[in-house]
Structure 1
Amino acid sequence: MLLTSYFLAALAIALAWPTPLALSKAKWTSRAPVQAVLLWQAIALAGGLSMIGSMLVWGLSPLGDDLISALLAGWNLILGQQDAEYPGIVHLFALSTAFLFALHLVLTLARAAWRTTRQRAKHRQLLKLLSNPSETRPNTLVLEHDLPVAYCVPGIAQSVTVLSRGLLTQLSAEEQAAVIAHESSHLDQRHDLLILAFTAWHEALPWLPTSKLALEAVRQLIEMLADDKALEQVNRKTLLTAIVTVAAAAASDPAGMQQPSSTNAAQVGIPGGEVSSRRLKRLLTPEPPLRKPQRGVVLACTILLLTCPTVLLIAPRLLVW
């Protein structure tokens, strides 16, 4: 049990700093955004599980040789059904820290989800006053605004895409199709849930710089995923023209009424749509996707990250083998 707790602590440290830092600087992620997003999720889940698991296993080590037997022995101690030595004050402190940290993560996620739901509802109420349903596109609202605006508002029952009058008049039909395909992919693939999870992770650990790195990296990757989906319907030049037109309008908007900023977008669960230099470079000079063996290695690492701490918590003797 002690060896397992040390290994999980080392894994938690590795996933908290050097691994996210290296992944945020990796160039291959833009060539395989799906695999990169999965890997980021695995790093976050495995990191949290390792942090909690290392303290939990170390705190329960006096009670048994594995987590299950230690938990049963601890439960019997609480019920007074077993004569055994109680864990020391240091072990009890570790158990309390593990419990409080797990509770902190769960409550932060619940608070972020509740806040997002409320702010999204307020945003929908505002849209009812400022927009009208599209006559040609289902689940689409037309905002009476001269500048080209396009974003999506996810919802449990029904999601909507918001387009401005300026976008419909300034963009060609193909460019409009590119923008709509991009925003629809955000809704279809529920990118807002990814943003919510990583926003909650960042709020739970604001002192951890890599939590912000992970959030920013995932935001860029989901925009690349949406671009790839739009490229299935339009050519690269059309999509690039549409993106640059909307981004230029946002930069020149003096009233600040353009598409929601990344901060506000994250609050209401809307993908921000930032046009990063990496995203533009990917559209201007496309690179070949990762080959199957390389994607297989990334997926293998993702699966290993998810299974390793889970298996060690259940069967710590495997580490000795």
Structure 2
Amino acid sequence: MFWASYLLAALAVILAWPVPVMLSKARWTARAPGAALLLWQAIALAGGLSMIGAMLTWGLVPLGDNLLAGLRGLAALIFDNNPADSGLDPVHVFALSAALLLTVHLVFTLLLTYLRIRKQRNRHRDLLNLLSSPAEHSPATLVISHPAPVAYCLPGGEGSVTVLSEGLLELLSPAELDAVMTHERAHLAQRHDLLLLAFAAWRTALPWLPTSQLAQRAVSELTEMLADDAALHTARRETLIRAIAVVASGERPAGTADPAGAGLPGGAESDALSTAHRLRRLLTPQPALSTAAQYLVALVALLLLSVPTILLIAPGLAG
């Protein structure tokens, strides 16, 4: 377990800096946004597990030669209340305390982020109830009286709605409007709000990590690309391009910068950059990543999650 703690610490550093930086600059992600999202999730989960695991295994070294033995030793120490024979020094106690605090911090931040976003959505939904009216042939679509072209989705389980502005309805043709609706409904159907909520919480908990900062921007952009791909199943490429350009010229109401309602660092600048990347992807389409390559990405994601798990539980790594 001594060596396991060092290996976990090294993995945590790698996943906190060079890996997310390289992935954020990779060009293949636009050709396989689903696979790229899977890899981002694996990096975040494996990075968090490695950080907590490194401190936990280091702190438990005097209590056992593997994680389970160390936890049993810790439980016996707590309940027997006899620290003199444990072999724990202040450094190991600090490592155990840090592991516990980081775990509580991450879970608590996730909970607070969920509550904050839920409150924002409820408040926004109350405003919509006052300022909008249902679309003529779609009760799950609300129309607001606003001259700017606006389209976004507001998740809420069975009460999820798509919001359009009168300005948008005046500017778009029926085919372009259908493309926008399909795009927004893809966000709701694929539950992008849950994915973005998790990465918003990750950034709030550890804002100094490139993983959290780069991941939130990248994941938001990738979800938009996935929704664009869904729209392309029924809409012509030129139609979707014009619809995106029209919607991008409008201003979203506060608190709806993305499907999660969490907002993104950079505000309008980040939205504009994401839109530029999406339009370039549609204007100069590249062939989708091969099935074999996408399976390889999935395998890498699985390995990223497996390595810290194995290092935590493998009894032969006592060192």
Instruction: Report the Cα distance in structure 1 between the residues aligned to 2:205 and 2:103, rounded to whole angstroms.
Output: 10
Partner of 1:160: 161
Matched, 1:71 2:75: no
Residue-by-residue CA offset, 1:103-159 (whole Å, 9 max, x unaligned): 111111111000000010000011111100112013110111122211000013410
Instruction: Give the secondary-structure state (helix, strand or coil) at the position aligned to 2:157.
Output: coil
Once residues 11 and 311 of structure 2 are traced to their aligned partners in structure 1, the CA distance between those partners, rounded to angstroms, is 12
Q: How far apart, in 1, do the equivalents of 2:191 and 2:253 lie?
A: 18
Asked whether 1:109 is paired with 2:102, we answer no
The verdict on how the C-alpha distance between 1:319 and 1:266 changes in structure 2, with shifts beyond 3 A counting, is: farther
Q: Given residue 147 of structure 1, which amino acid in structure 2 is its aligned partner?
A: A
| Letter paired with 1:34 | G
The structural deviation recorded for 1:33 is 0.3
Query: Are 1:199 and 1:266, in contact at CA under 8 Å, matched by a contact in 2?
Result: no
CA drift of 1:260 comes to 3.6
* Separation (CA, whole Å) in 2 of partners of 1:260 and 1:172: 23
Q: Displacement, 1:265?
A: 4.1
Deviating more after overlay: 159-168 vs 20-29: 159-168
Deviation at 1:200, TM superposition (A): 0.8
CA contact (8 A) 1:4 1:316 kept: no
Alignment of 1:49 with 2:42, yes or no, is no
5+ residue gaps, structure 2, are none
Partner-residue secondary structure (3-state), 1:234: coil
Match of 1:253 in 2: none
User: Does 2:195 align with 1:202?
Assistant: no
Partner of 1:288: 287
Q: Is the 8 A contact 1:154 1:270 kept in 2?
A: no
Cα shift at 1:279: 1.2
1:195 positional shift: 1.1
Letter matched to residue 236 of structure 2 = N
What secondary structure, in the 3-state scheme, does the structure 2 residue paired with 1:141 have? Answer: strand
Corresponding residue for 2:96? 95
> Residue 261 of structure 2 is aligned with which of 250, 254, 268?
268
Which residue is 2:231 aligned to? Answer: 230
CA distance in 2, matches of 1:79, 1:221: 49
1:106–1:22 Cα change, 3 Å: same
Cα distance per residue 1:175-233 (max 9 Å; x no partner): 00000000000000111111111111111111223321111111110000000000001
Give the match for residue 300 of structure 2: 301
**Taking structure 1 as reference, are residues 154 and 266 closer, same or farther at Cα in structure 2, changes over 3 Å only?**
closer
Matched to 1:314, the amino acid is I
Whole-angstrom CA distance in 1 between matches of 2:255 and 2:127: 19
Alignment partners' CA distance in 2, 1:264 and 1:278: 17
Cα displacement string for residues 234-290 of structure 1 (whole angstroms, at most 9, x for unaligned residues): 010000011111212x2xxxxxxx214688547734899654322111000100011
- Tell me what 2:19 maps to: 19
TM-score, L = length of structure 2: 0.92
| Deviating more after overlay: 76-85 vs 212-221 | 76-85
- Residue 152 of structure 2: SS of its match in structure 1? strand
User: Who is 2:219 aligned against?
Assistant: 218
Answer whether contact 1:198 1:211 (CA < 8 A) is retained. yes
SS of structure 1 residue aligned to 2:159: coil
Structure 1 window deviating more from structure 2 (265-274 vs 310-319): it is 265-274
TM-superposed deviation, 1:305: 0.7
State the SS of the aligned residue for 1:212.
helix
Please report the TM-score for the alignment, with normalisation by the length of structure 1. Answer: 0.92
Residue 192 (structure 1) aligns with: 193
Report the 3-state secondary structure (helix = DSSP H, G, I; strand = E; otherwise coil) of the residue aligned with 1:59.
helix
Cα separation, 2, equivalents of 1:33 and 1:137? 30
Partner Cα distance (2:118, 2:72) in 1: 39
Unaligned runs of 5+ in 1: 251-257
Distance 1:222 1:174, change over 3 A: same
Mark the CA change 1:216 to 1:262 in structure 2 (over 3 Å): closer, same or farther. Answer: farther
In the alignment, the residues of structure 2 paired with residue 145 and residue 283 of structure 1 have an alpha-carbon distance, to the nearest angstrom, of: 28
SS in 2 for 1:138: strand
Tell me, yes or no, if the aligned pair for 1:175 and 1:242 is still in contact at 8 Å. yes
CA distance in 2, matches of 1:128, 1:263: 16
1: CA distance, partners of 2:138 / 2:287? 34
Aligned to 1:5: 5
Q: Secondary structure at the match of 1:46?
A: helix
Greater RCO (Cα-Cα under 8 Å, separation 6 or more): 2
Letter of the 1:70 counterpart: G
* Deviation for aligned residue 1:26: 0.3
